[in-house]
Structure 1
Amino acid sequence: MGKINLELAKTLIESAEKKAREIQVPMVISIVDKGGNFVACHRMDEALLVSVDIAQNKAWTSVAMKMPTANLAEAAGVGKSLYGINTTNNGRVVVFGGGIPLRQNGEIIGAIGVSGGSVKEDIQVAQAGVDSLVNSALTVSNT
């Protein structure tokens, strides 16, 4: 299975930032490895300071739950099976969109988390990072 390294994280961040610039929303973009460990975080000029923790936690949640945080939002609603999960893990679990797992050959190798806009905008920017991994010749280190 592959491994997220700083070089790859920078490429993913660059693709996500390009989308954020296109939609004219300053964002924070964070990348974690398959264990949820911090790899890189980028705060665009004028992005909200609160978005730093939120982006990092979205990426972590996405790896920890093995799903996009948008999917978790549905499962964590009132009366749903995961209602209240956001109160666990010292409040680190984020239950709204913007965190997406990064996969290679069907295996989760990390995640991207984005914060700074509406949930729809955060998902759009995170997806641009994911797409750069999926739709390009980017390779992931196997070491």
Structure 2
Amino acid sequence: MSTKTAPILTLSGAQTAIAAASRRSQEIGVPMNIAIVDSACHLLAFHRMEGAKITSINIAIDKAFTAAGHRAPTSVYKENVWPGGAAFGIWNSNGGRFSPIAGGIPILRDGVVVGAIGCSTGMPNQDEDVAKAGKEAVERDIGMDGGVRAKL
């Protein structure tokens, strides 16, 4: 019998992403809801900054869910979800949780999706900017084996 290892995102890694995203959010002056999910799309960590929109809580979580589950940034669906587009109506999938709005980005280790970050409260480009800061911070740590452990 052989064992297989796969990287998984840890709570420490999620906290690294949240801290970096929060810093970027403060820099641009837009408080955010920040969600981190693992590779199975389960919520690992969540942070609601003071002043972030209450109605954006579930949007941030769903952006992370979509990015992890579809293994792609949510922004890639923008042009395809309009009437007549190849993915028109996709937001109804997964119990209505699929989010085609920018701000959800997968977190990778060695090309494998280990989780995702979703941010919401600002305009889609602001949400994506903040999510990218969180993703990049945890991926830098992952490169040093911080925030990820092997699963047996």
8 A contact 1:3–1:141 mirrored in 2: yes
1:61-140 to 2 correspondences below 5 Å: 61-136=66-141, 137=144, 139=146, 140=148
Q: Which moved more, 1:64-73 or 1:107-116?
A: 64-73
Please state if 1:20 is matched with 2:25. Answer: yes
Shift of 1:88: 1.9
Q: Runs of at least 4 residues of structure 1 off by over 4 A?
A: none
Deviation of 1:4 (Å): 1.1
TM-score (norm 2): 0.89
Distance apart, 1:134 and its partner CA:
2.9
Q: Are the aligned partners of 1:98 and 1:126 in contact in 2 as well (CA < 8 Å)? A: yes
Query: What is the rounded CA distance, in whole Å, between the counterparts of 1:11 and 1:133 in structure 2?
Result: 6
Structure 1 or 2: more strand by fraction: 2
TM-score, scaled to structure 1: 0.95
Answer whether contact 2:14 2:138 (CA < 8 A) is retained.
Answer: no
CA RMSD, Structure 1 to Structure 2 (Å): 1.2
Which residue is 2:149 aligned to? 141
Give CA-to-partner distance per residue, 1:4-31, whole Å, 9 cap, x none.
1111111110000000000010100000
Deviation of the 1:75 alpha carbon = 2.4
State the secondary structure of the residue aligned to 2:7.
Answer: coil
**In 2: Cα distance, 1:88 partner to 1:4 partner:** 25
User: How high is the sequence identity, in percent, across the aligned residues?
Assistant: 36
Structure 1 or 2, whichever has the larger Rg, is 2
